[in-house]
Structure 1
């Protein structure tokens, strides 16, 4: 078994609510395609801290193997983002046992990664001059979400997503997983003939590559999250010309990508705290 851990963080440049640009570290999300006895099984999204353990746990949890003795080797190669699993006696009925995949409600949904990545070049978003957001509009959006009556406020354990036109809330939905919530909004847009070019998408969940791609497929060029962003989410947004905001709550935010779509109205810097000589503060 290899021990192919990977760097966990990546440094990027952001712009904050005060108009300042500075460096910040984000999680280094990456795909890992698992092959079992030379047959492709699944692509998992991971930080890569212990990829061999991830693959082993996946096989055990999916009941594809029953014991460690079933596995001869697990080899991870980050140059090709692949994990090669060699079993001692093969896996009986692998095709039928993996033909019906149930996408769970959890935050990871790596099985869809390959299909989404193949569609990157087919995404066409409006130019920056035609889809913009002002800092004051962003602040009003965040205030709307702060006041929104929600399941999360009463019970927790859910993610919320919303669609805005300017500062007007068009659609809000909560679900046990953020992927369910964004898919619900996509379905609502499709049913009602709503286009995304002049819209902003909001989510309480972190901006992984999958969430960024789903927003792009909805035609929405501006995405706001109460949480952060991963490396692949950042890379995809940069490639697609999207604007991402993270750590967004009240009037605070970090703009990760797409500064050209953002009309900044910087807040005044907070006053420096004076320390009186001889005081305990």
Structure 2
């Protein structure tokens, strides 16, 4: 990254009842309004790094584009907070004042938006890739080691694309959905092959996150955090292996365990008390 996504903020920190003045490193966020063919489409609250990747991945995730070359021009005015995108084809999505899109840095306001395009963009993943338990641990360790902005602020999410052995590329944002869109954008721009790839992720495995992984087309998702029940139901239906709480040489495999070599459900799995 060629820029930071944090600022210093003077705080009063308490040690017991004793106050101290300190400078705290805080993650930054900014609104970015997306204009498609001159029409306002969405406002994304995001970290201001890798914005082109974010836009490309976001538009692909929402079914507006399928390929990077569906875009004829893309310009970003960071000072004013606008991105102008021209497409080869006319924009066919109809909007009115009651359906203006606002994509927050968390998940609360975004659920209605994600569900509108999932039918045509979510897809069943039929990957035959396998990964060992030790490789899962190693990939999460690599993500943690590279998470410089998180170590500084504690306020960002990280998403990475990797082979079973190493991280290929990584993106950071205050929003976990944005971090995945940045990865998706990088994939489309660089035409990265996905047959041998996994997603390594810092955030909760929610339904929206799972659907984004489905749209990217990757069959293994590793996260250091927890899943939701709807996320797991979608993962089971869409053929995605979900692994959560990957930390300290422990992890939980929730769906499609067949891709985790040492977690084959028919071989040597112990139950509590065995």
- The question of a shared fold, defined as TM-score above 0.5 by the shorter chain, is answered with yes
Q: CA deviation at 1:264?
A: 1.1
2:106 and 2:189 map into 1 onto residues whose CA distance is 26
8 Å CA contact 1:125–1:241 kept in 2: the answer is: yes
Relative to structure 1, is the Cα distance of residues 182 and 149 closer, same or farther in structure 2, using a 3 angstrom cutoff?
closer
Where in structure 1 do 4 or more consecutive aligned residues deviate above 4 Å? none
1:130-145 paired onto structure 2 within 5 Å: 130-145=128-143
8 Å CA contact 1:244–1:258 kept in 2: the answer is: yes
Q: Which residue of 2 aligns with 1:102?
A: 102
In our comparison, the structure showing a higher alpha carbon Rg is: 1
Q: Which residue of 2 aligns with 1:239?
A: 237
Q: Which residue of 2 aligns with 1:205?
A: 203
1:19-34 paired onto structure 2 within 5 Å: none
Which runs of 5 or more residues in structure 2 are unaligned?
1-94, 265-269
Question: CA-to-partner distance for each residue in 1:138-168, whole Å, 9 max, x for gaps?
Answer: 1211221232242111111111111111121
* 1:227 maps to which of 225, 228, 242: 225
8 Å CA contact 1:123–1:217 kept in 2: the answer is: yes
Q: Which residue of 2 aligns with 1:163?
A: 161
Relative to structure 1, is the Cα distance of residues 224 and 176 closer, same or farther in structure 2, using a 3 angstrom cutoff?
same
SS at 2:210 equivalent: helix
1:62-101 paired onto structure 2 within 5 Å: 96-101=96-101
SS at 2:203 equivalent: coil
Compute the RMSD of aligned alpha carbons.
Answer: 2.5
8 Å CA contact 1:125–1:197 kept in 2: the answer is: no
8 Å CA contact 1:203–1:225 kept in 2: the answer is: yes
1:248 and 1:214 map into 2 onto residues whose CA distance is 20
Q: Which residue of 2 aligns with 1:119?
A: 120
Which runs of 5 or more residues in structure 1 are unaligned?
1-94, 270-281
2:130 and 2:159 map into 1 onto residues whose CA distance is 20
Relative to structure 1, is the Cα distance of residues 100 and 231 closer, same or farther in structure 2, using a 3 angstrom cutoff?
same
Q: Which residue of 2 aligns with 1:250?
A: 248
8 Å CA contact 1:116–1:210 kept in 2: the answer is: no
Q: Which residue of 2 aligns with 1:172?
A: 170
8 Å CA contact 2:147–2:158 kept in 1: the answer is: no
| Corresponding pairs, count | 173
* 1:182 maps to which of 180, 183, 198: 180
SS at 1:126 equivalent: coil
8 Å CA contact 1:161–1:202 kept in 2: the answer is: yes
The answer to whether residue 215 in structure 2 is matched with residue 217 in structure 1 is: yes
1:265 and 1:215 map into 2 onto residues whose CA distance is 22
SS at 1:235 equivalent: helix
Q: Which residue of 1 aligns with 2:77?
A: none
Q: CA deviation at 1:181?
A: 0.4
Taking structure 1 as the reference length, the TM-score comes to: 0.56
1:232 and 1:245 map into 2 onto residues whose CA distance is 15
